[in-house]
Structure 1
Amino acid sequence: MGVSQRLKNRFRKFLQRPGTTVDLGPLSKRLDAIEAREEALKELDDAALTDAAREASDFTEICAVGREAARRAISQRPYDVQLLGAMALLSGRVAEMATGEGKTLTATIAAYGHTRLGNGPVHVLTVNDYLAKRDAEWMEPIYTLLGLTVGSVTEAMTPEERREAYAADVTYVSVSEAGFDYLRDQLVTDVADRVQRDLATAIVDEADSILIDEARVPMVLAGSTNTESDPVHEAAELVKTLRNGKDYEVAEDGRSVAFTEAGLKNVEEKLGGIDLYADDQVEHLSAVNVALHAHALLRRDVDYIVRNGGVELIDEMRGRVAQRRRWPDGLQAAVEAKEGLSATAEGEVLNTVTVQAYIALYKTVCGMTATAVHVGEQLREYFKLEVAVVPSNTPNIREDDPDRIYSAHDTRDEALVEEIKIAHDKGRPVLIGTLDVKASERLAEQLAEAGVPCHVLNAKNDAEEASIIAEAGAVGAVTVSTQMAGRGVDIRLGGSDEKDRDKVVELGGLYVIGAGRHDSRRVDDQLRGRAGRQGDPGASVFFVSLEDELVSRHAGDILPASPRMDMDGVVHDPQVDYAVEHAQRVAEGVNHEIHRNTWRYSVVIEQQRLLLAERRERLLTSEVAAIMLLEKSPEKAKETDEDVLSDAARAIALFHLDRLWADHLAYLSEVREGVHLRALGKLDPLDEFHRSAVPAFQDLLTKVEERTIETFEEVDLTDGWEPDRAEIVRPSATWTYLVHDNPFGSELDRLIAAVGRRLTSGG
């Protein structure tokens, strides 16, 4: 039997969205041929199927064999749309597939296909360790039947365990762990110490989150340093005594703060009568400013939580703890000081790569997500990736109501609680997405007062995330969640075992409510997509307040002074509807521009890092260092034992290359901060950055050679080679972390703002 007419009609509708997505027509034509292979493959025993899997070499056979392996191994026969998604991934595209359409199984067939097409090894990059481990274990029976090995990498693994996982045909790993392993591999002094193999193919799960939202996040490998100064704690104690409005003023957008003239004098007196703007007080000035920002602008349970004696940042896109992430520019230490915690060492940056640059190292990149079209232009701009929109297996019958907009938080929250209570009293499951941790806890308290029990899923209990979200479709369940929590986990009607499915279907399915619009439409769409999975009934609505930060920050100037509203406080005004949509578009535009600007600066750094990595690879895997010493220091080189010369030359050259690269990164960080001053003089900051970065890198390459020769000539090699003898001691400890965006711009931006405020106030 061929593809049904109903499915063909829906393919026709989805095959192409002009200007934004690719045509899936040529791929959909293969579906009949794939189905035609089904009966013959069913006749094979497992060993014969494995043999057939090893011979498959085109999309049709790959999908046919993959479908049969999935049917046998996990009792799931992939739908035609899943095979269409797999072919889109095999074509190097980002497949947009609705929530609940089976992306995990789709990726498995694509991973198998890429190995058969000679594109292995394959890394399936996930957003966290939980999904990497879960998906690898879940899909392992399929891979085994297909004659492939599969592994997963998690944070707690040893280098030996990581090496074994990466040796598999397919490896599931979070993008941050993969990036950290790459950075560590870039500093090995023996090839055998590496854990990763070639970066061949990446299948990116939740592609919009990783490729766009996380793209500019730097992954950092840091090393211990001897000097640790901490002027920030003193400054934090001082700013606690200051008063808003008298000693400092917060800007309307809530993103900057500056001392008043009186506040500045107060601070200078408390610091012993110093002039904070004197040349010798830069460290004090920086510490005081960063402490003020931490005190006045960063909010506990919104921007961060305090847990287990430490400050943990919250990822604003996911509403979850951002694992191993730090703010830059001393801001992390300032928040730790604000909360009365001891400072954690930032250490010296030994190497760094952004998520975007790391992904670009793979020869083949493809991905999947439920929300790709909104960022199609960015995927094309930064990764040369096209979006393929795959239709859902069954029509989406979810009812999406228009936003309910209220003039104030209070009336919105009252209406929200009442709406939840009505649904709960009927037994209908409700999932509510909030914008931050504080809002989720406040709503939970309001629901408790109204007699509605609920589960709270937020950054504070992410370990229970999967089990909580899996039961969000049970009869009477009320789940309050930060909006992106639980991504990657199915919500089945009637609970994870679906025992009460019929009852929940009768009640209208899962009811998703957004308590406010997010800065990104994609995040709202992901939340909405929790309901209506695989043709299930469901409904969604967003409750918005004109006091929400998104609206007040980005559309406050276009809101009508007296919007039309009914007796219940619900606003019915086309101008307000437009303002909310406008605010979201502006917020997305701002984030895109920040991404583009950051990317422009990182391009030259990444080019330099790649050039250095090539040079390092030659030093590590050849005798180029020994040859150089024979040329530049022939007398000593010829006196040295050949094996000793090889080992010493390699170790000394690698040490100086790594040492100078760390120094170069520190220098570029200073330059990046300082170019904003030059912008005041009508110079292009990016041009100025390049003007400093390019010659500095050329100087680095020269110095590597000079210092290698110098060290070689100084060290005594008569009794063999010992690194300690040459004083080339590497850091005693290394650790990894992600740099979280500084929410207030650069340190220098803040200093300029403070100086400007002081001058305009007559100081």
Structure 2
Amino acid sequence: MRLSGAWWAKGLVKHNEAGIKKALPLINRKYELLRHLSEPELQQQIERLREEVVQHMQPRHVTYTTVAIVKEAVRRKLGVILHDEQLLGGYMMIKGNVTEMLTGEGKTLTSLIPLFWFGLQGKGVHMITVNPYLAERDYMQAREVFHFLGMTVGLNRSELRMEEKQSVYECEITYGTWSEFGFDYLRDHLVYDPKHQVQRPLAYAIIDEIDSVLIDEAKTPMIIAGKSKAAPDLYYICAKFVRGLREHRDYERDVETNQVMFTESAIRKIETVFMIDNLFDLDQMTVYHYLLQSLRSQVLMEVDRDYLITDGKVHIIDAFTGRVLEGREFGDGLHQAIEVKEGLRLSEETRTNASITVQKYFGLYPHLIGMSGTVQTETEELRHTYGLEVMPISTHRPIVRKDAPDLVFSTKAAKFQRLVKEIIALHQRGAPILVGTTSVQQSEQLAARLSQVHLPCQVLNAKTEREEAEIISRAGRKSAITIATNMAGRGADIRLEAGVAELGGLHVFGLERHESCRIDLQLRGRSGRQGDPGASQFFISLEDELFLRFASDEAEDWRESWKWGEEGVSSQQLLRFADMAQNRAEQQMYGIRTLLYKLDCVVHRQREWFYSEREDILHSEKMEDILSRSVSHWIDICVERLCPAKRLPEEWKVRQLGQEFGLTVSIHAVELMTPSEIRQQVGQQWRQGWSLFLETQLLEKWRSSWRERCLRLIDQCWMEHMEVLGSVKQGIHLRAIEKRDLADIYEEEAYQLHLKFIRKYHRAITREVIQEMKDQLAFPLSGSA
């Protein structure tokens, strides 16, 4: 369903769109025929369409009929007539494209077209949203339409029981959030009984606000974690140690990537204080990890910006929405490092049981499409990472919103002062105002200034998604002043109250440019929906975080030569400078996402091995074959290690080899044997004992017991492996000094660690098998090698 990136070029976009627009008269002609049918007659048409799809009888008219049927179903059940741009958007998604439809163009109803089409394929289609509120809202709106179309539809919620989730996933169409689908995938690969898995094989996914999910959320992997026993003393020791470190002397801070790294002098100091030879040895990863997390908590993490402290606990603040993430913790011990820093009671450390990045999870869907109002700027990344192409859809009505050029100020104080003046003037006219901020702190600072001049405002700050949507929807009322983080309430339309259009519509102000111009476009797009009047403008200062992080030297030069006073200026030179800083930020974030994707590609290959091995255990009817394979694997490893071909036979450790497998092995005639013959002899002796052992077992009960034991052993080894991999990833940026590709370095180390993980797993299985045989068969067996 995905299209080749080579096919896409700007010159072909208009040509392709024009070609597809030729389908619109045919679709609407079919629609005119359908709208005059009785309900039984229309149901017959739907059933005929289903049969044609199931039998793969799919000439071109079948897709036209699909679009027309959805249009008629929406008219009959919702009283809404889909306009041509919605039909075009839905048709383009059927063809495998991502569609860009601006805010207010009706993406939610447009999605019903590809949902119906892919639902007809019978493999299940997942309709993915950014938050539970939108999932439930869209499900409730679409449910009646799909029931009319004869489709089963369900809502995937986190509170559902296992049986309920299985039922939801059996539906032809399933609504839910991106994270819930991802976590269900991870949980399915942790079960101890295949009957407890809930998902069918992944087939079709349609993502609403696809840029938010695939781009904005791509920096943070989905993680299922369990509690583990931390080493509190080491946290306190490391926290005390890093408090004595000084920037530039002991550590360097990369403002752009928001990373810290120890200097050479600090590394020598650490090795002396902690009495270790090499801090970067894999055996020292625990010490290094705790030290780095302590340093990150001290230098990078700031209270009331990155986290809140309430009731003696640390709560994460979502960087995009400003919302407190209930029930979430910073991973890999960072949460505990912050608790030590803040003098709080130390909680149990979380341990990663399973994880996957957003990119890799959605890459598992054979057919992936989506829609957004602001995705055109990310065309290259979507094509490169996901193999997706973007089709911009024209607006139903012309955009009449007035987008004024940014006003640039030397200081934040001057920016706030001018913005408050603008808000006062507009408020006196009765015009509604929406101010987008990049942080909770900014929202509170502006609200405080408006309070000083007695202007009431609604601050959208750490609300639930439902409250956000309700607040945002009221932002179009007369005299309303709404302050919100740029991402808050996304997906909810702002409709103008009667009389507001005559006042110029909704006025949107951006208080600071975001790290991506796409987020700025989303804020502008809050105004001017469906041909409504409106206005937008950004007020930025040279003290904004964007400039401090990505262009601090240049910003300082501009401040020193400032000549435009306190009222702000839209100088072309300054605007080009702002664009340059934002472009740097975008390139930096893209680089981070690309590196994380490359690193997870390495992990994913290992994850696939782990999941495949685990599935074999989970579904195996003969556990003795699984165990025998592990023991044979460990025999191969031990013979290679204890009886290597490059050493003389008299140097081989044959007796130690026998002891490893519970065998009493003589060394008679070893000098005449090859390692292969040694391997054969040890394997033969073990298999003799194995056969005798199996004859004494009640196999069904024994197999069930060992299935669970095997799963627990492989899970334990995998979790330990993931911890070490995580520590390597945490410090990978320190390896940049080697002037090699970081992904290549990581792949090399991850490969060696994976071999170690496999050896550890097979050794654990072998030792438990041998011990059980000893207990029940009076092992060891005697024999000669």
* Category of TM-score, reference length = shorter chain: 0.7 to 0.9
Aligned to 1:334: 337
Q: Cα distance, 1:462 vs. partner?
A: 5.2
8 Å CA contact 2:218, 2:359 repeated in 1: yes
Are 1:36 and 2:29 counterparts?
Answer: yes
Who is 1:23 aligned against?
A: 16
Do the aligned partners of residues 330 and 698 (structure 1) sit closer, same or farther apart at CA in structure 2, a change above 3 Å counting? Answer: closer
Question: Under a length normalisation based on structure 2, what TM-score does the superposition of the two structures give?
Answer: 0.80
Paired position in structure 1 for 2:659: none
Tell me the distance in 2 between the aligned counterparts of 1:452 and 1:178: 43
Tell me what 1:694 maps to. Answer: 751
For residues 145 and 347 of structure 1, what CA distance do their matches in structure 2 show? 47
Q: Could you tell me how far apart the structure 1 residues matched to 2:436 and 2:201 are?
A: 40
Going from structure 1 to structure 2, the CA distance change for 1:402 and 1:298 (only over 3 Å counts) comes to: same
Shift of 1:204: 1.0
Give the match for residue 45 of structure 2.
52
In structure 2, distance between residues paired with 1:381 and 1:248: 35
Question: How far apart, CA to CA, are the structure 1 residues paired with 2:14 and 2:756?
Answer: 46
3-state SS, counterpart of residue 513 of structure 2: coil
Cα drift, residue 336 of structure 1: 3.0
The residue number in structure 2 matching 1:671 is: 728
Deviation at 1:94, TM superposition (A): 1.1
Would you say 1:438 and 2:441 are equivalent positions?
yes
Is the counterpart of residue 611 in structure 1 residue 609 in structure 2? yes
Give the count of matched residue pairs.
691
Counterparts of 2:172 and 2:528, CA distance in 1:
35
Superposed CA deviations along residues 290-311 of structure 1, whole A, max 9, x for unmatched, are: 4454344423332223346533
Give the corresponding residue for 2:505: 509
- In structure 1, distance between residues paired with 2:715 and 2:44: 47
- Does 2:714 match 1:657? yes
Return 5+ residue gaps in structure 1 as ranges: 1-14, 269-273, 495-500, 720-763
**1:456–1:480 CA contact under 8 A, matched in 2:** yes
Report the alpha carbon displacement of residue 660 of structure 1 after superposing the two structures with TM: 2.2
Task: Choose the corresponding residue for 2:385, options 367, 382, 386.
Answer: 382
Cα root mean square deviation, aligned:
3.5
Instruction: Say if 1:375 and 1:288 are closer, same or farther in 2 by CA, change over 3 A.
Output: same
Partner of 1:753: none
Q: Which moved more, 1:557-566 or 1:326-335?
A: 557-566
Larger Rg over CA atoms: 2
* SS of match in other structure, 1:24: helix
Distance across 2 between alignment mates of 1:256 and 1:358? 26
TM-aligned CA deviation for residue 656 of structure 1: 2.6
Contact map agreement 1:508 1:537 (CA 8 A) in 2 = yes
Equivalent AA in structure 1 for residue 142 of structure 2: M
Structure 2 unmatched runs, 5+: 1-7, 54-61, 630-686, 777-785
Q: CA deviation at 1:330?
A: 2.8
Give the whole-Å Cα distance in 1 for the aligned partners of 2:289 and 2:706: 42
- 1:355 corresponds to: 358
Distance 1:475 1:147, change over 3 A: same
- Worse-superposed segment, 247-256 or 71-80: 247-256
Q: CA deviation at 1:279?
A: 2.6
Distance 1:368 1:663, change over 3 A: same
Find the aligned partners of 1:553 and 1:142 in 2 and give their Cα distance. Answer: 49
AA matched with 2:692: E
Q: 1:167 to 1:93 in 2, by over 3 A?
A: same
Q: 1:246–1:120: structure 2 CA closer, same or farther, 3 Å change rule?
A: closer
Residues 401, 563 of structure 1: alpha-carbon distance in 2 compared, 3 angstrom cutoff: farther
Distance 1:401 1:575 in 2: 16
1:363 maps to amino acid: P
- What secondary structure does 1:214 align onto? helix
Which among 258, 276, 279 is matched to residue 279 of structure 1?
Answer: 276
Asked if 1:197 corresponds to 2:200, the answer is yes
Question: What is the match of residue 110 of structure 1?
Answer: 114
Counterpart CA distance in 2 for 1:679 and 1:120 is 45
- Per the alignment, residue 581 of structure 1 pairs with 579
SS in 1 for 2:500: helix
Q: Quote the residue 2:675 is aligned against.
A: none
Amino acid corresponding to residue 66 of structure 1 in structure 2:
V
Higher mean alpha-carbon deviation, 693-702 vs 568-577, is at: 693-702
2:583 is aligned with 1:526: no
Partners in 2 of 1:22 and 1:302 — Cα distance? 48
Equivalent of 1:418 in 393, 416, 421: 421
The 8 Å contact of residues 431 and 480 in structure 1, kept in 2 or not, is answered as yes
- The equivalent of 1:485 in structure 2 is 488
Deviation at 1:714, TM superposition (A): 3.8
Query: Which residue identity is paired with 1:666?
Result: E
Correspondence 1:623-634 to 2 at 5 A: 623=621, 625-629=623-627, 633-634=690-691
Alignment correspondent of 2:164: 161
In the alignment, is residue 68 of structure 1 matched against residue 53 of structure 2? Answer: no
Would you say the 8 A contact 2:129–2:178 is kept in 1? yes
Query: Are residues 1:593 and 2:591 paired?
Result: yes
Task: Note the C-alpha offset of 1:696.
Answer: 3.5
Residues in 1 aligned to 2:25 and 2:616: alpha-carbon distance in whole angstroms: 50
* SS of equivalent residue, structure 1 residue 215: helix
Identity of paired residues, percent? Answer: 37
CA distance in 2, matches of 1:342, 1:357: 36
Report if aligned partners of 1:563, 1:572 keep a CA contact under 8 Å in 2: no
Partner of 2:473: 470
Q: Work out the CA distance in 2 between the residues paired with 1:718 and 1:240.
A: 54
Query: Closer, same or farther in 2 for the Cα pair 1:28/1:696, shift >3 Å?
Result: same
Greater RCO (CA < 8 Å, at least 6 residues apart): 1
2:648 aligns with: none
**Match for 1:158: what amino acid?**
R
| In 2, Cα distance between equivalents of 1:667 and 1:470 | 47
Q: What is the TM-score of this pair, normalised by structure 1?
A: 0.83
